[in-house]
Amino acid sequence: TSAFPIFSQEEVTRHRSLEDGVWVTYKGGVYDITAFVAMHPGGDKILLAAGGALEPFWALYAVHNQEHVLEMLSEYKVGELSAEDLKKQKTIQTSDPYSSDPERHPVLRINNLKPFNAEPPPEILSDSFITPSAVFFKRNHLPVPQVDPASYQLQVEGLPGGVLTLSLEELKTRFTKHTVTATLQCAGNRRSEMNKIKQVKGLNWGIAAISNATWGGARLRDVLLAAGYGPDVAHRAFHVQFEGLDKDVTGTTYGASIPLKKAVGEEGDVLLAYEMNGADLPADHGYPVRVVVPGTVGARNVKWLGKIIVSADESSSHWQQNDYKGFSPGTDWDTVDFKSAPAIQELPIQSAITTPADGAVVDRSLEEVAVKGYAWSGGGREVVRVDVSLDGGKTWQVAKLRSGEKGQAPEPSPPPGRAWAWKLWEVTAPLPTGAETLEIVCKAVDDSYNMQPDTVAPIWNLRGVLSNAWHRVTVKIRE
C-alpha cells in the first residue's frame, strides 16, 4: 500500500488554475505542480494539462522523455489516482484518435495514414473532368472530426450585426444554393520532384494532389452580408479567418484565412459548400460544411468549418503563419524567417502528364503514343494552351484541350477571371523513328501568359511547395 492519499479524477479536475492549485496525473500518480508552473522551461503551455493527465501532452512534446524531467516531477507528488479512474484514463489514452476516420477507396495511394493523406493514380485522374469524390485527393492534418448535422452550428464573428449563428438547415434554406466547379490543389503537389534535387520537409506527393469537383452551397458573400457586412467594414478589416472543427490534443483547431476582398467579391465565387458532386460532403472532405475558395491554394479551403471571423488580421494559425509560404532555394531551416514571406493564396500555373507514366514502355507496333494530362492556373486565370514535346523540349506541338466530359457538350467558357476548373488535354503523336526513348514534356500557358519554369532546381524551397516546373516523363520504345 502507498503512503499517499487516494484521489478521484473529480478531485484532480477541481485543481486547474493557479488560484485553485494546478494538479496533474502521470501514470497513476497525482502531482500538485502549482509552484512549478512559473519555472517551467516550456512556459504557460503547461497549464493546458491542468486538472488532467500529462501523457497526451508529453506524447506531443517528446522533450519530456528524459530521466531528469521525471525526477523533477516526483518532487511534486501528493497522491495516487483511484484505481477505477486510472483504468478509465488508460482506455482513453490507448484509444486511437483516428479510429473514427471514414473508410477510403482502395485505389488511393497513401502518403500518410494518420492523419490520412492520399492521392489517386494519375491515369485515373485524367479519366474524368469531374473527379469522383471517392478518389479525390485527401489531405488531412488531424483526425476527421465527427460532426452531428442536427447540432452543427456555424458562427460568423467580427461584423456590425454581432455574432451570427447558423444551423446546417438555416445555411441550406436561408441562402440561395450556388454550384461552382473548382479545382483544388495542395501547395505540396509534385513535391517529390523537389525531393530529388535536395531533401525537403513534407509529404512526398506525386502529381495527383489536385482534383476537380462541383461544389454546392451558400455563397460566403451572402452569409457575410446577412451578418452585417457593409462598405464601412472594408476600411478596418482585410481578412476572413476560418476555423475547422478538427483539433489536436491541445485543442488547437485547423485554421486559415483569405483576403476579405476575395470573400465578399461578387466574382470571388467563394462557397460555404455542403455538397460535393451532387451529394452531401464526404467526411474526409469536410462534412457537413467546408469553405471552397476557387483559384486559391488547398490549405485555405477549410473543412469541417466551425467559425468565420472577419478581422484586421490574417489567421494566427500555424498553417497561415509558419507554413505554406515560398522561399528562395538559398534559404535553409537555420535562416528561414516565416514572417518575411506572404502566405500562399493564388497558385501559379501548373500542368502535368498523367499518361504515360514515367518509365512506361510503348510498343513500336502501335505507331503512335497518346499523351494525356491536366493543366490549371490559380486566381481564375484560364489555361489557354498546353505545349507538348516528345524530345525533351527541342520541338513542340499544341495539345487539344478538353473541358467537359467525353461525349458531353463542353462546359461553357467561364467569364474572364473566373476560370476555376482545370482543363484536361491530350496529344496523339506518331512515334518518332529511330528514337529508343522519348522524353515527354508538357508546359501550360494561362491567359496572363504566365508559363511554367523549365526546371525544378531554381524553384526548390525548403518546404517543397509551389512545385510547377515543366513535367517530364521518360518512356521506352520496344521494337
Cα distances from 62 to residues 31, 46, 56, 99, 363, in angstroms, run: 20, 14, 10, 23, 54
Cα separation, 476 vs 195, in Å, equals 24
Q: Which is nearer to ligand MTE, 60 or 69 (CB)?
A: 60
Query: Is residue 375 within 8 Å of residue 353, measured between CB atoms?
Result: no
Q: Which stretch binds ligand HEM (CB under 6 A): 66-74, 79-87, 212-220, 300-308?
A: 66-74
Q: How far is CA 436 from the centre of its chain?
A: 41
CA dihedral 190, 195, 198, 200 (to 10 degrees): 90
Which one of 15, 31, 76, 139 is the catalytic residue?
139
**Is 341 near ligand HEM (CB under 6 A)?**
no
**Is 299 near Mo ion (CB under 5 A)?**
yes
Q: Which is nearer to ligand HEM, 81 or 125 (CB)?
A: 81
The CB-of-137 to ligand MTE minimum distance in angstroms stands at 5
The CB-of-318 to ligand HEM minimum distance in angstroms stands at 13
Query: Is residue 439 within 8 Å of residue 373, measured between CB atoms?
Result: no
**Is 53 near ligand HEM (CB under 6 A)?**
no
Whether 15 is catalytic? no
Q: How many residues bind ligand HEM (CB under 6 A)?
A: 20
What's the per-residue H, E or C state across 96-113? CCCCCCCCCCCCCEEEEC
Q: How far is CA 260 from the centre of its chain?
A: 20
**Is 40 near ligand HEM (CB under 6 A)?**
yes
Which one of 186, 254, 287, 418 is the catalytic residue?
186
What count of Cα atoms within 13 Å lies in the side-chain half-sphere of residue 92? 12
Q: Which three cell numbers stand for residue 437?
A: 526513348
The CB-of-389 to ligand MTE minimum distance in angstroms stands at 30
All residues at 6 or more sequence positions from 159 whose CB lies less than 8 Å from its CB, including other chains: 224, 227, 228, 229, 233, 310
Among 145, 286, 295, 298, binds Mo ion (CB under 5 A): 298
Q: Which is nearer to ligand HEM, 15 or 381 (CB)?
A: 15
Q: Among ligand HEM, Mo ion, ligand MTE, none, what binds residue 472 when CB lies within 5 to 8 Å by partner kind?
A: none
Classify burial at 249, counting beta carbons within 10 Å of its beta carbon; exposed 0-12, middle 13-18, buried 19 or more. middle
Which one of 152, 229, 274, 324 is the catalytic residue?
324
Q: Among ligand MTE, ligand HEM, Mo ion, none, what binds residue 244 when CB lies within 5 to 8 Å by partner kind?
A: ligand MTE
Residue 147-186 contact track with Mo ion, rule CB under 5 A, x = bound: ---------------------------------------x
Query: Is residue 200 within 8 Å of residue 462, measured between CB atoms?
Result: yes
Contacts with ligand HEM by CB under 6 A lie at 24, 33, 36, 40-42, 45-46, 48-49, 54, 57, 61, 63-64, 66, 69, 72-73, 250
Contacts with Mo ion by CB under 5 A lie at 139, 186, 298-299
Contacts with ligand MTE by CB under 6 A lie at 136-142, 184, 186, 244, 246, 254, 284-285, 298-299, 301-304
